[in-house]
Chains A and B, each alone.
With several copies, the nearest count.
Chain A
């Protein structure tokens, strides 16, 4: 099973990278660019075939390692 985990900053947490990217896009002449936020995309291959079990494991991985839940939130997507 393949999973994609999206780790992004919680709302309201300052995102210096996103801010700088937004700024640079403006300088490059792109118009109408509003807020830009940068997060992580982590692609994981799992041998687990049961969807519920995989999800539970991924959730634990996020809590323990992949996301810093003090400032980040996460989202899990599964593909068989």
Chain B
């Protein structure tokens, strides 16, 4: 791209702009765009940056609550967590880059989301990762798992931010299109929040961080185009992450933020300099002029086009109060980072870009934001799957349990999280393996509970109920550790919005999220959409990943899943109807993916959850929500975590074992309480109108004195044997 490129119809098409969109650009400018302007429009109007297919639907999501300080629209969402502390968080996808180069793709995904959080003045305190891979026996899967996990670890570990929770699942629909969703949670002080609105004219615009190279040009447009067979061949330049520089950038930014020199600040993420400069001007109602000759450059002969579209990592743009440049420069030099004043804000509402003495772009700022196309794409809502499910009622439940515990989806993910430093910062009070991670607010007794959740097979069967379930499960996981769920972030991974069926999944999914978030008072404060997740026409399972954040007033009262004492009564909270449709049991044991997704009664969720949280606040310390795999899997997890056995004595008929043990009814929890307190709790539940049953005791042992899991229809198996099965699959698989 060294010689000036003519803007021909082919060039326009290569930029992913259709005829109508191009005509609109010409109309907005009153002339044909230059190549630089075309590039700028193409990234800003891409699906990734403009949300053109989803914007009208996203408007339906609830985004406010008394504790929400900043909803969607900024770099990250912000909620009040009391005492002048605020929590800043967001999740983002890095799916396509991670498929092409798993290590760097995942690493830069983590780096990008961390910048979104610290650009708002927050110190990141926790990182989470929601991962979906293809089938284990697909030839690429192992390599992708290894690369993605070590990429996430290498970035987070070097940054010194604990990676505390996530998900790791496998399904054939992700064979050619894995999902890597990274979430970052940070803490700031309410009076030290930074925004991206560059208000006022004549203020210096400064560039800080790493130098600009030719990294990831077209990254943003790549994330918006369907994969086909030769995109692996095209091999677009992937970005390489430099966590060391990012760590310096974090410290330098926080140091500068401690002064009052900053008017606005924004990281350079997708579409780098283009999106950061135009969005800052747009939000501030100002204009911006930048001179590309002042941009620190890593390579020679970078064109204006390349500089505007480069996605080099670890860079930030800030607008300072006039006269504060030297002070800021001193800080960035101390941290050995590049610093350059590259322009000024103006009052023209235009973005003007100069290069080598010439104006290479000059456009109204709103042309890139408000004027971006919005589509009301046609959609059809598929009928949700339904019908009776078939299963063999007499199949031995214990054998099935052992098999389930060693399936790719239910096995222990220790192999993953042991590659992440989850203890750094010395505030991880609940570590991976529980329902939600809990990170103490440094220097206080408060804790943030966080988790990521979604069950894509439910979303496929019923996009609306499935999306509700994702929110409900996140809410439940936070509740299960004793947290009050406050707000969510999302990563809406769907397939091609230009196909009415897929668009139908998107629309129903967003409606489901909206309903659940409203009823549970769990608003969405940030997030992102990743569309076009399909390979050769085959879409992924709809995967609206939910990242939840909640608050514990006192981390000493946190609950964990591990059984803690022998002789405790095991209580089951919630209704068990034995819903086997779309369950893991049906898929793994019967080989069937059929039936309706479990219905989610949000009022019931709330009632049961509030009841459980109340008990935790009153001292109950052992709680687990019931999710994938059902009740028996949950009991096994509690036994394995505590190294203590259990006996289940069901008052139910023999032909109902399977639905009782493996059904995936929602709104349920298990807890273990001292036996002497069980009756009082059951009475309390009755009063609150919450279904609760005493289903067994902890502490079962065999005649050798070993802890066992046993019960009606369950011949005893030692907890050690359960654990061995549960821990074996992933490390064995990764050995190859």
Contacts and interface: CB of A to CB of B under 8 A. Distances in A.
Touch between chains A and B, by CB atoms below 8 Å: yes
A70 B312 contact: no
A13 B313 CA distance: 12
B235 interface: yes
Contact of B240 (A14, A20, A69): A14
A69 B101 CA distance: 10
A16 interface: yes
Contacts of A9: 240
Contacts of B103: 68
Contact of A14 (B101, B235, B298, B736): B298
The CB with the most chain B CB atoms within 10 A, among A12, A14, A15, A68, is that of A14
The CB with the most chain A CB atoms within 10 A, among B101, B242, B736, is that of B242
A36 interface: no
A73 interface: no
Chain A interface, DSSP helix/strand/loop, else mixed: loop
Contact of B101 (A16, A19, A27, A71): A71
A12 B213 contact: yes
Interface in A1-57: 9, 12-16, 19-20, 23, 27
B299 A12 contact: yes
Contacts of A19: 242
Interface string B223-249: 000000000000101111110110000
Nearest to A11: B299
Nearest to B232: A70
Nearest to A16: B242
Contacts of B235: 69-70
B242 A68 contact: no
Given A14-B298, A16-B245, A70 B238 contact: yes
A32 B215 CA distance: 27
Interface in B605-655: none
Contacts of B101: 68, 70-71
B601 interface: no
A59 to B, nearest CB: 18
B244 A16 contact: yes
A74 to B, nearest CB: 15
B215 A14 contact: yes
B214 interface: yes
Contacts of A70: 100-101, 235, 238
A20 B736 CA distance: 12
A16 B240 contact: yes
Nearest to B101: A70
A70 to B, nearest CB: 5
Interface residues of A, number: 14
A15 B237 CA distance: 14
Contacts of A71: 101, 104, 238, 240
B237 A13 contact: yes
B347 interface: no
A12 B298 CA distance: 8
B418 interface: no
A5 B121 CA distance: 42
Contacts of A15: 240
A13 to B, nearest CB: 6
A13 B244 contact: no
A13 B240 contact: yes
Nearest to B147: A68
Interface residues of B, number: 23
Interface in B703-736: 736
Given A27-B736, A70-B100, A14 B242 contact: yes
Nearest to B336: A23
Contacts of B210: 14
A9 B242 CA distance: 14
Interface in B88-131: 100-101, 103-104
A28 to B, nearest CB: 10
A28 B103 CA distance: 21
Contacts of B104: 71
A13 B311 CA distance: 12
A14 B312 contact: yes
Interface string A53-80: 0000000000000001111000000000
Contacts of A23: 336
B145 to A, nearest CB: 15
A70 B299 CA distance: 19
A13 B241 CA distance: 10
A12 B238 contact: no
Nearest to B302: A12
Contacts of B245: 16
A12 B240 CA distance: 11
Nearest to B236: A70
Contacts of B213: 12-14
Nearest to A15: B240
B312 A20 contact: no
A13 B238 CA distance: 8
B142 to A, nearest CB: 11
A2 to B, nearest CB: 17
A9 B299 CA distance: 14
Contacts of B237: 12-13
Interface in B239-298: 239-242, 244-245, 298
Contacts of A12: 213-215, 237, 299
A10 B245 CA distance: 21
A16 B240 CA distance: 8
Contacts of A16: 240-242, 244-245
Contacts of B244: 16, 20
Interface in B542-598: none
A69 B238 CA distance: 11
A69 B270 CA distance: 23
Nearest to A9: B240
B239 to A, nearest CB: 8
A15 B241 CA distance: 9
B233 to A, nearest CB: 11
B585 to A, nearest CB: 34
A49 B213 CA distance: 29
B143 to A, nearest CB: 10
Contacts of A27: 736
A19 B209 CA distance: 13
A16 B210 CA distance: 10
Contacts of B238: 70-71
B103 to A, nearest CB: 8
A16 B209 CA distance: 13
Nearest to B242: A16
Contacts of A68: 101, 103
A60 to B, nearest CB: 16
A13 B216 CA distance: 10
Nearest to A69: B235
Contacts of B242: 14, 16, 19
8 contacts: A13-B213, A14-B213, A14-B239, A16-B242, A27-B736, A68-B103, A69-B235, A70-B238
Interface of A: 9, 12-16, 19-20, 23, 27, 68-71
Given A12-B215, A13-B213, A14-B242, 18 more contacts: A12-B213, A13-B237, A14-B210, A14-B215, A14-B240, A14-B312, A15-B240, A16-B240, A16-B242, A16-B245, A68-B101, A70-B101, A70-B235, A70-B238, A71-B101, A71-B104, A71-B238, A71-B240
Q: 6 tightest CB-CB pairs across the interface, nearest first? A: A16-B242, A14-B240, A70-B101, A12-B214, A70-B235, A12-B299
